[in-house]
Amino acid sequence: MKANSFRFKVGMFECIAVADGSLLDPVPAEVLFKNAPKELLEQVLRSHNIQLGQWTESFTCLVIQTGDHCVLVDTGLGVLASEPDAGKLLQNLRAEGIEPDDIDIVIISHGHGDHIGGNIDLEGRAAFPKAQYYMRRVEWDFWTSETTLTNPEHEWMNEFVNNCLLPIQDQFRFIDQDIEIVPGIKALLAPGHTPGNMVVVIESSGKKLMDLGDVILDPIHLEYPDWYSDPDCQPAQSVYTRRLLLEYASREHALIFAFHFDFPSLGYAIPQQENWMWQPIGRAKEKG
């Protein structure tokens, strides 16, 4: 496995986990588990060797090469002067022999800046000029509305919306229902983290991969799926969606891709009493 990319197969599809980088988030790790009892949370964080005062946020994007299409799910944080360790997607794609013009489909799971920042290159141009973008219509409407962007909770998104969404609006196709974008790749509504959040399900030759994006933000969310995060726009809905998808992934023994987990962000949801535990692919017999 290369440090910044990891190739694997899902049936007949060639897939690549591609690192966009990481950042040391100055906010405390507790924001990921907003409703967790304090004493229990401290115990759990210590058991996972997580510092209480900070956490390292990783960004990993997913490429699926079907033979007919080259599909990218999310574009990462993009290049920011303040975050020199992030915004590495384009260079890491090129290291795998993939040029921006090779990407013909981009699926945006949701509109947070760390999933859309790479839509634009250093010159402010479309990073993937030949791609058709897919996003849930309700998600676009939410993030481009004045009501949302004037809300102090979401003001940090103004720059991302103005620089990374609106300039390439003509490349977007807005969807109102679950669809199969290309044969074997489906985009499904998974609200809670944001109103129009989507997950991507990839199926080929009887094998299945679920890109859960930010439905799970940390392996602790498998062990304590009822702990929602501060960025979850709809906390109760996010918990319901998480449980539903983890139950499905576990039952189907589907490989899971989790955007913020340690690279290469791949593993399985293993049943543990009424919840689950995260089993990274390095500790599992890969069946993809």
pLDDT tens digits, one per residue of 118-141: 999 988 999 999 999 999 999 999
| Per-residue DSSP letter, 273 | T
Residue 284: pLDDT band (50, 70, 90) is very low
- pLDDT computed for residue 110 by the predictor: 98
C-alpha 14/C-alpha 172 separation (Å) is: 25
- pLDDT computed for residue 216 by the predictor: 98
Given a cut of 80, whether residue 283 has pLDDT beyond it is no
C-alpha 2/C-alpha 164 separation (Å) is: 29
- pLDDT computed for residue 287 by the predictor: 38
Range with the poorest average pLDDT among 38-47, 136-145, 232-241: 38-47
* Tokens representing residue 211 in the block: 């890109």
Question: What is the pLDDT averaged over residues 55-70?
Answer: 94
Whole-model pTM? Answer: 0.95
User: Options 3.30.70.1450, 3.20.20.105, 1.10.357.10, 3.60.15.10; which CATH number does 5-282 get?
Assistant: 3.60.15.10
Which residues are 10's β-sheet partners? 13
C-alpha 61/C-alpha 250 separation (Å) is: 22
Percent of the chain clearing pLDDT 70 (strictly above)? 95
**Strands annotated E in the chain:** 5-10, 13-25, 55-65, 70-73, 105-107, 132-136, 172-175, 179-182, 185-189, 198-204, 207-211, 255-257, 266-272, 275-280
